Every structure is written in structure tokens, then in C-alpha cells.
Structure 1
Amino acid sequence: MATQQAEAVKVNDVTVCSICFEKFKTPRYLPCKHSFCHDCLCSYIVSQCKSTEPRLGFHCPLCRQYTVSEGDTEKPEKWTEYFPVNIVLEKIVSQTNNKCCELCLRENEQEIASNYCLTCKEYLCIMCTKYHRKFLTMKDHKIVNLCEMESVQVFPTLEEANRCPIHCNEEIQMYCDDHEQLCCGLCGATTHKKCENINMINKAAQDLMEKGDIDSLIDATNALKEKLFCVKTEKEINKEEIQNTEDDTRLKFEEEFRSTIQHLEKLKDEYLDKMASTSKKGKEKLQKEIDSLEECAICLNSCIQSLQRAKNTCNEKERMIKFLTAKKTFAKLKKIEFKYTLKVKVERDITPLWHEICNLHDIAIFNLNVVPRLVDSDVKNFELTVYKRITVEEGNITSGLFLSDGDFLLVNEGEGSCNVYNEEWHCCHINKCVSKPQDVTQSEVGILVTNPEDKQIEVFSPIYFQKIRKFKQLRSIPVSYAVKRITCFEGNLFVSIPNTILKIDNKGHISKFYNSMLKHFNDIVATKSGLILWTENHSHVWNTSGKVVAMTIKGDNAWEYERSSLEIPHGLDVDSFDYIYVAYRNNNSVHVLSNVGSLIRIIENIPKPLFFKLNEARGTVCVGSGENEMIVYKFK
């Protein structure tokens, strides 16, 4: 229908909506002065907001100027109501077929209108237009020739736009600071009569300049803009990293695929050669037996012919000789063991891995791992509120970790299990693949659980768990030492064993020993800036406290943090801003450190924290409290 209407009217007709190409119905205008039908603008805004989050504004359909909405970000379908109705355009549309001078009509005269006054919102004839311009009070009125209406943006004058939102016929005269609202004198005498901070509009505008509120807001806006620009730049870099990862993975996979195909071709050739060789041996063996049988058959034919001649001869001596000769030959042949019941077969014993390859549905499972990162962090002021307490039966809690999908994995050495809790904090799976698990971390190779009893690290698939809510063990990483604590950084694993820390790769190959005279490590973690932190406990020295030690990848000591009063640090965690959280179990507190080891704050009243794990995206902290209890906190 819109297409048919477009043929009947000019596209640049001032009375036609540029979205539906029909006459305006309740036209509303944007700050850029372009007008659209109420329903057309509403549909356009909703369609534009589908691809944006958060929903803050939209671009004008004509000039693409960005318009910030005052409406609810969750209800873009209501935004249109916040834009004023173009009452001038509405009147023009309603009087399309009645263009007589309205001043003359009031005098019972009828003159064809030639102009339109946008200020008075009235049609004027030539004579009335002439006198309209002469009056001093109407000298600034905007008058448009009707022939030029097609190329002019029609919208209310500034005086019309600056009307009170409640009393449409009253101009804005006052500002209520208590409600942060502009209002007219009538509102000031009624709705805002009890407000203490209400001023005339000129006084309020003057105060804005004197107090510097505009400059302060400009500075705050620029600061937020700079912060958002940094986040945007970070995301663009992240996007480029994804592309680079895709390119590198593609090249690596193509090379691995070619190598795999070459290897399979080689195995195929070897398979066919072995099959041909084995078949040849079987055929040669059978051919020898066939030749032997043929010779026996010839000999038997000879005996039969000899017996036939003996039977048919009249010479009795010859008959006896041939009979006896045939009898001896038959007796000799009868003693030969003919292997009629033996059958030669070529059998194959296929490697079980071949069936797995043939039944392979996916070479790899790809998953988008979204790591939460806040734009800002008020680490000095956030407060913790207890959300839930979870008791672990037969518990000896040693560690925990928020997985990439938001679930929490709790390591329970006492029961020999890894318990997984979903976002509602219900235990959705218990994994008992490791007899005495100690610590857990997650890297690109999977979920890594230390197994000191078997001197190895168990690797589980996080993607497989997300699909069917069960752990699938991928492999084991042998270490040859009783590994207890583990962390990862840039593709390497850093693990603690008695007296030292090891740097190993994903296959268990040791690339560095970090010398230490320690007897006991409580925890180990890597920061975003590339420091390896551990908490140590001089439990063999009486009346001493433990400390937090930061070390570079090369093994140089970066800094140490130590407290008095026999405080012994246990669990460590690092947030997206590289703030370090140290759990002090024996004095019920968590110390927050900067990445250079300075104390920022102490979070008190955390019962016996063994570990302190944050999930910034969910606003959640999980604390191992004692040996058999876990406390979930919410923070703001």
C-alpha cells in the first residue's frame, strides 16, 4: 500500500512521511527537526534497538544524527512518546484541502492562502502576509510560501517547543532542583509549592555556570568517554586476536590434516602390502597342496586304468601283476594324509582406534569462552552480603574455581571428589575420577586437577561437561612429583611440589626449577601482569607468620607481603584489574593487595577463609570456610 501511495504523492512533499510514504498520522519530530509518523518511528526504533545492548538511542532515518532517548532502556517501544508532536505539521496535514486565509475567514471573507505562518500556525493570503510582517510583535514570525513548503522542514518554533510538559499552553519559567524538573509558574504554585529548592529558569541557568556544574559534567563525561574508548579499543584488539587465532588455527589444522592424511595414506599402503603378502603366502601354501592332490589324482587314474586292463586281459599272469601293482600303489596313496578339513583364512585384527576414527563425528568442539571484565572496580568500598551457605558432607575442602561457563567447581579431598555447582548453587555433578584431588585451574587445554597421590595432573574437557553435564577425562599429565597447587600463564603450568615450584608445559616436560627452601606452599596463582604469587607457611618454625611472595617468570623476587600477629596466608585470587585477594584463615579476614604488593584494604568477618574466589560478572564471591562449609556472598 505504501508503494502505491508513493506513486500518488511526491516523495519530498512536506505532508508525507519519509518512512511509509503516506500522509502523516500523529507526526513527531526528533531533535534534528525531522518528523515521522508515530507508528513508523516506533517500529523503526524497535528494529534499530534489536542489535544494540544497552539500548540508549538511535540514528535518525534521514540524516543519521544520533538521538539519545529519555525512555526506559528496556522498553524502546515507548520511546516515541517522549518526542513532541509536530502540531504545525499535524494542522497542515489536516487542512490539506482547505487553504484559505484564516484571518480573512474570521472576517467572513474568503481569500486563497499563499503563505503559512509557522509561529501562528495559520494560513495567510498575500494582503494579510504583508500586514503580518509590519506589526512589531509579529516581525520575527517565520512565514513560508506555500509553493516552498515541499523543501522546508516544518516544526514548531522554539517558543512552542519550550512549553511545560504538563501544561502545554504555559512556557517553562522555573526549575525545581529537588525533583530536577523544568516547570511553568502554574506547576511552581501547585505541584512544587512545597519544594525548598525552586528557582526561576534564568537564576537556575546562572547558578549552573557559577557552580561549574556544566564543566564538571563535561569532565565526568569525557572521563567516561575515555574509559569506554579504552574498553572499545580492548574489544577491537580482542576481535583482532580472535581473527589471528582463527588464521593460525586454520593454518595449523591444515598442516596437521595434511600430515594426518599422509600418515593415513602410509598406513593404507602398509595395510594393503601386508594384506597382499599374507594372501600370497596363503595362496602359495594352498597351491602346493593343490599340486600334491593333482599328482595323487593322476596316480589314482593310473591305478584305475591298470585295474581295467587287468580286468579285461586274458593273460592271467599279466592280470595278477597289474592287480598287485595297483593294489600296492593304492595302499601307498591311502597312507598319505590328505588335509581335506583344513582351510586357510586371511584374518585381520583391526586396531580399536580405527573404529574410533571411523565413528568420529567432530574433529574438535569450538566454544566461545567469554571472560568477564568489569569497566570499573570499587575495590575499596564494595560490601559482601551472605547469599547462601553450603555444607559439604565428609568434607575436607582444599580449593575451588569458577569455570568459564559460570559454574563453580569445589575440590573436596576428604571425599575424593570434585563437586560442580550451577548458577543456582545446586550440586549438578560429582566427579570422583581423582582419589585425592588437591587443586584445580582451567586453561586452553581443559580443566586441570592435581593428583599428588599418582604424581600427575588430570585433564578434563570443559566443553564436554557443558554439553552433557558429565566430566570426560581427556588425558593425564605425568609430572614425577607429588603436585599439589597449580596455576597457568601464557600456555605454561606452574605447580608447587615440596620445597620448590616447577614450570612445565602441557605434556609435563619441566622447563624450569625455581629454587626455594620452603617446606609448605598454601596456594599459587599467576597475575595478569605476569607475576607468579604463592603463599608460604613456615609451619616448622614456631612463633612465625607466613607471607605472600611475588616472583617474575625468570625467577627474580618482585616483592613480599608479610603480616605480624602470627597471620598465615592461605588462598589467593586475582581479579580482572590485577587486584590480589589473600585469605587469612586464622584471623577471619581477606587482604586486598595491589599488583605491587601494597595493602589496599582488609575485608573483615570472613569465617576461616581457606580460599576467596570472585566472579565479577555475577557479582559473587565463593569462600571455603573451614573444612566442610562453603559460603556464597553477593557484592555491590
Structure 2
Amino acid sequence: MKEWPVSKQVEEFLLKCQAHKDDKIEMLCEDHSQLCCTKCAFNDLSQCSKVTPISELTNSQPTDLQGLSVELETVMGGIKSLQINQEASVQSLQRTYKEHGAVMIEQLHGNLNTNIDKCCNSSVGTSDKNLKEEMCWSVLSILNEFDSITVKELNEIKDEVISIKGSVTSSIHKCTSLHNDLLQLLEIVQKIGDNKELCLIASIKCKHIIQQALTLLGKSGKVFKVQGKSEHNVRVPSDSVSCAISGICVLPDGQVLVVDWTNNNVKLLNQQYQVVSHLDVNAQPFDICLITPSEVAVTVNASNIHEVQFITVNQGKLVPGRKFQLQHECRGIDHHQGDLFVISSKDLYKYTLNGKQVCSLYRSFDGTVDQCAVSPTGDRLYIIGHWQPKLLTLARDGTLLATYTDPALERSLGLHVTPAGQVLVCGHWPDTVLQVGWEGESKLANLATWGDGVWNPFSVCYCSTTSSIIVGQWWDSILVFRVE
């Protein structure tokens, strides 16, 4: 074997096949941009048309290791920042739970004092025995109410915090692992020498892990391609009018929840998109977002009702949980690691899970805003409005970063960001579903239009389980587009 100008350890790391650890990389499957050994080529990739030995590609494949080194350093910085923000989110979650518990205890203390004072003030002509009995019954009633309502609410928030904390912790571990891999590749790239085969392998591995990092950072530039379509009716016998699906949310197991704006209910669909349960709410529901793998939050709005209703999916049924009231209209909603983002007709607000308003992030002065979505890392917020054909991209603090204007966004209502950071928007009147770059500056593709069966799209959501884009419409149905 030719002597490599690198250590044996580096050579073994670069040449080791990921699928078959005891075998060396010898080929590249150009169909999948996948490095492989002979076992991969003859077993897993036997149907592929272009599997070429590495030695034959060294002159045709570019290996800009200096440029890759800069890219590696850039994404490493992004991963480190993400990790710091995630650790801060865990601390914030714990504070939210403790603060809410303290408020509840303070309210209990206040209720007890108020009732004891009331008993004492009305005790004229009452014997000590009767006064004690009255006070005991009053205190017992307050404690029972605390047990049945407040403790239940605290337990709900506690379960949410535990679930979200687990998800964030898992993401932190991914960041750590990916950061270590990036660092290892960076060190290798900087001292690999000029061996063409090793340089090519290192280049391909770098590009692969950089793409993994960009996906984790919500900066995937991958454009969806539609492969097929199906339509599903979501109307139930108790619906009094045609359905208008204003919000969609997908659980990790593939079940789908849809918000029916015109019939004042939320519906649960199974993996075949059949309605298996529905729950009425006390006003028009507008939007929905995922809180935990089995819980969602829904904005419910009317002239005198502005609230966020939590709903749990339990054994194929929708179970109402706690709710909190707002002092403003509520339309769009999204969630990121314990932070709730709620849109009124003109403002974007940030709330904690227990309903405490943290701040107002953005105010629109040129028209109403209806929907919001947050990037997977929480560092970008997207908003759209029914009366403005444009998408706004904001920084975490509400600073305007970009404005994208397009006639296809006329009367835009549906907005969604995938786990990889792809931005999906519905133009209601142009009957269009399009994909915008994560920077919020340009359109990447028209994914579906009127010619594909899209008519008055109201909402949109991506399902990772089935690799599908689900579009909610005004007239009783949802469209499901299979994508890759």
C-alpha cells in the first residue's frame, strides 16, 4: 500500500465504512452521494446505476479543502451557539414551573386569608363552635378546589416541562456529538496533505456532515419535490356547515390534528387521515401548535373570548386540559422549547407555558398579521397577514431581518416551518403552496397550484413520518402531497 502523509489513525478514520466497520471505503455511489465498501456496493446499492471506484474520481471531483475548512468552522460556531441557547431554554423552563407554583401557593394563601376574615367579620351573634365549623368548611372547600383544579394544572405544566426538557436535552446531545465530529474533520482537513484519494473521501465526508449540521440548524436548502397527491374528507355528521381547516398539527406518531374554524372544533385524524375523534371548543379556533408528543395548544377567539386551550391526545381521544385567557385577540400560535408565540391582529407576543406575557416582539402598522411560525432553532420568526402579500422574517428579539413580497402570497393564511427549516406558505386566492428559503428572502419553488387540486388553501403542515405536505382547505377536505 502507498504510504500516506498522515497518521495511521487518521487514515483508518477516513477509510472506515460506516455500515461495515471492518471494511474500507473503496467506491462512491453517485446516485446517493454515498461512500461505500464492496459489501455496500454488492448488497445495499446493487440497484444503483453509478457506483464508481474512488481512484477513478480523483481527477473529476472537486476537493476544495480550504473552503470546506472555513465552512466547518462556521457551522461549528452555529452548533455551539445553538447548544448555549438550548441550555438556556432548559433553565427558563424550570423557572416557569417554579414561578407558576409560587403564584398558585400565593393565591391559595390569599383565598384562605380572605375567607377567614369574612367568617370573622360575619361572626356577630355566632357561637365559637359555629364559627369554627364555618371556618373549617370554608378552608376545606378552598383546599379541595386547590387539589382538583390547581394541582391538576400544575401537574400538566410539570409534565410539559419534563417532556420539553427531555426533547431539548436530546437535541443538546446531538449538538455535542455533531460538534465533536465537525472538530475531528476540521483537524483532519487541516493536516491531510495532498493524497488525492484521501482528500476526496475527506471532502465527501465533510459535505455530508456539514449538511447534517445545516439541517440541525434549520438551514436546509433542500427543495421539496411532489411525488403524488391524495384528498381526504374531514367533515363529521355533527358539523353544521362546510369545514374550513385553519390549522394543522402532526404528532410524532403520524396522527394529525386539524382545526375546523367554521364548526368550532378540533379533529383528530389517524394515520390514514380518517377522523377518529373531535372536540368542540367554545368559540372559533384559529390555529394549533405542538407542545409535547401528545399535547397541543389551540387559539380560540371571539369578540369576548381570547384564550389558549391545551388539548391532550389520549388513546385516540381528544381530552381538554387547562386554558389561559389573553387580553387581546389571538390568531396564529407556535411553540419553541417552552416559549409560546401568539399573533393578535397587529402584534406578535411571546408567552410562557403558564400564560405569562413576556413581551411584545413586533407590531404591524400596514395591515393585519394572522399567522406565525418559529424556526427549529428559535432564532427566526416568520409572520404573514391576510391583507399583505408578503412574508416577514424576524430575529429572536423581533428585529425585522427580511421581507419577501410575491403576488402568490395574496390573502396568505397558511404558514409552517419544517424540522429542517424549510418554510411553507399558502396563497389563499392564487391557490398556491410555495416554498421559501429559510432566510425569508426568495421563493424556492411553487409546490402545488390550482392545477394540482389546490383550492382556497387555509393551512399547511409537513409530516416527517410520511414525508408529506398536508394542506387544509375551505371546503371539507385536506390535500396530502407526498414529497421527497
Quote the residue 1:457 is aligned against. 306
Q: Is the 8 A contact 2:369 2:383 kept in 1?
A: no
Quote the residue 1:187 is aligned against. none
Q: CA RMSD in A?
A: 5.4
Deviations 1:369-416 (A, max 9, x none): 448999444632533422552342533314123255553221212222
The answer to whether residue 483 in structure 2 is matched with residue 635 in structure 1 is yes
The answer to whether residue 355 in structure 2 is matched with residue 355 in structure 1 is no
Q: Is the 8 A contact 1:390 1:631 kept in 2?
A: no
> Taking CA–CA contacts closer than 8 Å with sequence separation of 6 or more, which of the two structures ends up with the larger relative contact order?
2
Counterpart of 1:350 in 2: which secondary structure? helix
Counterpart of 1:256 in 2: which secondary structure? helix
Q: Partner amino acid for 1:422?
A: N
Deviation at 1:473? 4.1
Relative distance call for 1:396 and 1:508 in structure 2 (3 A) is: farther
Greater strand fraction, Structure 1 or Structure 2: 2
Quote the residue 2:222 is aligned against. 379
TM score, norm. by length of structure 2? 0.58
CA distance in 2, matches of 1:271, 1:404: 47
Q: 1:392 aligns with which of 217, 221, 235?
A: 235
Deviation at 1:417? 1.1
Q: 2:349 aligns with which of 475, 499, 503?
A: 503
Matches within 5 A, 1:315-326: none
Identity rate of aligned residues, in percent?
12
Q: Which has the larger radius of gyration?
A: 1
Deviations 1:458-510 (A, max 9, x none): 33334x434783332413413354x444456783544232xx33536435798
CA distance in 2, matches of 1:469, 1:428: 8
Matches within 5 A, 1:75-474: 208=55, 211-212=58-59, 240=87, 244=91, 248=95, 256=102, 260=105, 264=109, 267=112, 281-282=126-127, 346-347=133-134, 349-350=137-138, 352-358=141-147, 363-365=154-156, 366-367=159-160, 368-369=163-164, 370=167, 375=212, 376=215, 377=220, 379-387=222-230, 389-393=232-236, 394-403=241-250, 405-406=252-253, 407-442=255-290, 447-462=296-311, 464-466=312-314, 469-474=317-322
Relative distance call for 1:277 and 1:572 in structure 2 (3 A) is: closer
CA distance in 2, matches of 1:523, 1:591: 16
Q: Is the 8 A contact 1:451 1:457 kept in 2?
A: yes
Q: Partner amino acid for 1:582?
A: V
Deviation at 1:627? 2.2
Q: Is the 8 A contact 1:448 1:457 kept in 2?
A: no
Which structure 1 residue ranges, 5 or more long, are not aligned?
1-65, 72-78, 84-175, 182-196, 199-203, 285-342, 539-545
Which structure 2 residue ranges, 5 or more long, are not aligned?
1-14, 24-36, 43-49, 172-210
Counterpart of 1:415 in 2: which secondary structure? coil
CA distance in 2, matches of 1:355, 1:247: 27
Relative distance call for 1:549 and 1:429 in structure 2 (3 A) is: same
Q: Is the 8 A contact 1:620 1:635 kept in 2?
A: yes
Counterpart of 1:465 in 2: which secondary structure? strand
Relative distance call for 1:248 and 1:355 in structure 2 (3 A) is: closer
Deviations 1:570-594 (A, max 9, x none): 3222223443222124444322222
Q: Is the 8 A contact 1:547 1:568 kept in 2?
A: no
CA distance in 2, matches of 1:210, 1:430: 58
Quote the residue 1:571 is aligned against. 414
Q: Partner amino acid for 1:451?
A: V
Deviation at 1:432? 0.8
CA distance in 2, matches of 1:624, 1:379: 23
Q: Partner amino acid for 2:383?
A: L
Quote the residue 2:387 is aligned against. 537
Q: Is the 8 A contact 1:567 1:587 kept in 2?
A: yes
The answer to whether residue 449 in structure 2 is matched with residue 602 in structure 1 is no
Q: Is the 8 A contact 2:310 2:322 kept in 1?
A: yes
Q: Partner amino acid for 1:633?
A: F
Deviation at 1:442? 4.6
CA distance in 1, matches of 2:432, 2:110: 63
Deviation at 1:266? 9.9
CA distance in 2, matches of 1:624, 1:250: 35
Q: Is the 8 A contact 1:448 1:458 kept in 2?
A: no
Quote the residue 1:589 is aligned against. 432
Which one is further off, 622-631 or 509-518? 509-518
Q: Partner amino acid for 2:481?
A: Y
Relative distance call for 1:428 and 1:598 in structure 2 (3 A) is: same
Deviations 1:291-346 (A, max 9, x none): xxxxxxxxxxxxxxxxxxxxxxxxxxxxxxxxxxxxxxxxxxxxxxxxxxxx9994
CA distance in 2, matches of 1:262, 1:477: 17
Counterpart of 2:281 in 1: which secondary structure? coil
Q: Is the 8 A contact 1:449 1:457 kept in 2?
A: no
CA distance in 2, matches of 1:553, 1:281: 61
Q: 1:612 aligns with which of 460, 465, 476?
A: 460
Deviation at 1:232? 8.1
CA distance in 1, matches of 2:259, 2:273: 15
Count of aligned pairs: 376
Q: 1:624 aligns with which of 463, 472, 479?
A: 472
CA distance in 1, matches of 2:79, 2:123: 66
CA distance in 2, matches of 1:504, 1:242: 14
Counterpart of 1:621 in 2: which secondary structure? strand
Relative distance call for 1:224 and 1:425 in structure 2 (3 A) is: farther
Q: Is the 8 A contact 1:537 1:547 kept in 2?
A: no
Quote the residue 1:475 is aligned against. 323
Deviation at 1:630? 0.4
Quote the residue 2:176 is aligned against. none
Relative distance call for 1:387 and 1:475 in structure 2 (3 A) is: same
CA distance in 1, matches of 2:110, 2:283: 42
Q: Is the 8 A contact 2:417 2:423 kept in 1?
A: yes
Relative distance call for 1:211 and 1:443 in structure 2 (3 A) is: closer
Q: Is the 8 A contact 1:387 1:633 kept in 2?
A: yes
Counterpart of 1:479 in 2: which secondary structure? coil
CA distance in 1, matches of 2:359, 2:82: 35
Deviation at 1:447? 4.0
